[in-house]
Structure 1
Amino acid sequence: MAKEYPIIETRRLLLREVTIADANDMLTYLSDKDVVSPMGLAPFQTEKDVGDEIRWYNSIYEEGTGIRWGITLKDSGRVIGSCGFLNRLTKHYRAEIGYELSKDYWGKGIASEALEAVVMYGYQHFQLERIEALIEPANLSSQKLVEKLGFKREGCLRHYEFTCGKFDDLYMYSIIKKDFTLI
């Protein structure tokens, strides 16, 4: 029997499972170089590319190694980004958090609202002790976002990933449960 996909509701947002029906909305932001390049991805070209991404979301959920919610505005229901956990290690009570948001919604506090809710969910429902965020050094807005929530930069992981034909350095940020003041 399939697990029921959790839904998170915030003041303005509904974080929910994405489906193939959301592929066109998702292609809008996943085809934007400015949105996907900090994730180490090339812009998506087709709804089939988005379908592969949705299947990955489903696989990490079924395997228990992560969960990815579609970020939707309550008033429209359209998916405008995603946020969730990957590389979850239950034995060590930790997971990595990831997120992206359509450029049309940058600077409106939406990413912060979604990220805060997902971090809280991780502590309350997954019993996480540590949540990590890996961020490219040039992605200053993402660094400011996690720092605002209390994440601390721990250092630079040199040539940590090979994406789009190059090695990327990534800053390691983390927050541990006792430092998250919103619980």
Structure 2
Amino acid sequence: MIENGLTAIPELETPNYLLRGMSIDDAESMFVFMSDQQTMRYITPHPVQSVDELTKNIKVSLTNFQESKEIPWVIVDKISGDVIGMFRFHKFNFWHKKTEMGVVIREDYQKRGVMSEILEVILPYGFDILGLNRIVGDIFAENKGSEKLLQKFGFKKEGQLRQTDFDGTRYHDTVVFSLLKSEYEKSNSVV
């Protein structure tokens, strides 16, 4: 990510989790959740089918990092050392100072506050370190857990895009949420 001066994916730490740069060596541990239909239900109807396919996807993410388009992390449980998810800033645009978030959490770690902890370090990193002005989270309309999480962190609902994704059986609406730097700063200045 030469455009912003990053030559390596930075490590970020929360009390319980470590975000470290994704690598090819993570393919096998990531396959557990990236191939799971239930885990991926709000992301894609076609999860990866093999470790080789996931390895290719990781290579694309790492190339995107080199081209200043993405920062891909894995989420590691600090106690067990297990890779329990992935987080990425993608669709980077440094001129417009904006990015989108992409997240997958292993099913046995869902609804345990992982993303609340992650957002506590990711948002300051995005706004204060990377100098972003806008961070977007777009989710399937049925994903009420992510909607609640985004609203908890001050993200504003911008609108609902009708029937944007087809899962092989039916179409899904996408709801777009965003947080602006000014909103982030205002909410963090309140003591």
Task: Name the TM-score, length of structure 2 as normaliser.
Answer: 0.87
AA in 2 matched with 1:13: Y
Equivalent residue, structure 1, for 2:32: 28
Measure how far apart 1:164 and its partner are: 5.3
Measure how far apart 1:40 and its partner are: 2.2
Q: Does 1:9 align with 2:13?
A: yes
The count of residues paired between Structure 1 and Structure 2 equals 183
For residues 24-68 of structure 1, give each alpha carbon's deviation from its aligned partner in whole angstroms, at most 9, with x where no partner exists. Answer: 210111111122121124122211122022112202211101111
Q: Does 1:70 align with 2:74?
A: yes
For residues 82-105 of structure 1, give each alpha carbon's deviation from its aligned partner in whole angstroms, at most 9, with x where no partner exists. Answer: 112111111111111111100010
Counterpart contact for 2:73–2:88, Cα < 8 Å: yes
3-state secondary structure, aligned to 2:122:
helix
Change (3 A) 1:94 1:163: farther
**Structure number, greater radius of gyration:** 2
Q: Distance in 2 between matches of 1:122 and 1:163?
A: 31
Q: Distance in 2 between matches of 1:148 and 1:11?
A: 19
3-state secondary structure, aligned to 1:150:
coil
Equivalent residue, structure 1, for 2:147: 143
Query: How much is the aligned-residue C-alpha RMSD, in angstroms?
Result: 2.0
Counterpart contact for 1:42–1:164, Cα < 8 Å: no
Task: Name the TM-score, length of structure 1 as normaliser.
Answer: 0.90
Return 5+ residue gaps in structure 1 as ranges: none
Which of 162, 169, 172 is equivalent to 1:158?
Answer: 162
Q: Distance in 1 between matches of 2:45 and 2:175?
A: 17
3-state secondary structure, aligned to 1:171:
strand
Q: Distance in 1 between matches of 2:164 and 2:124?
A: 27
Q: Distance in 1 between matches of 2:146 and 2:173?
A: 15
Matches within 5 A, 1:7-156: 7-156=11-160
Q: Distance in 1 between matches of 2:164 and 2:72?
A: 22
Runs of 4 or more, structure 1, over 3 Å off, are: 159-168
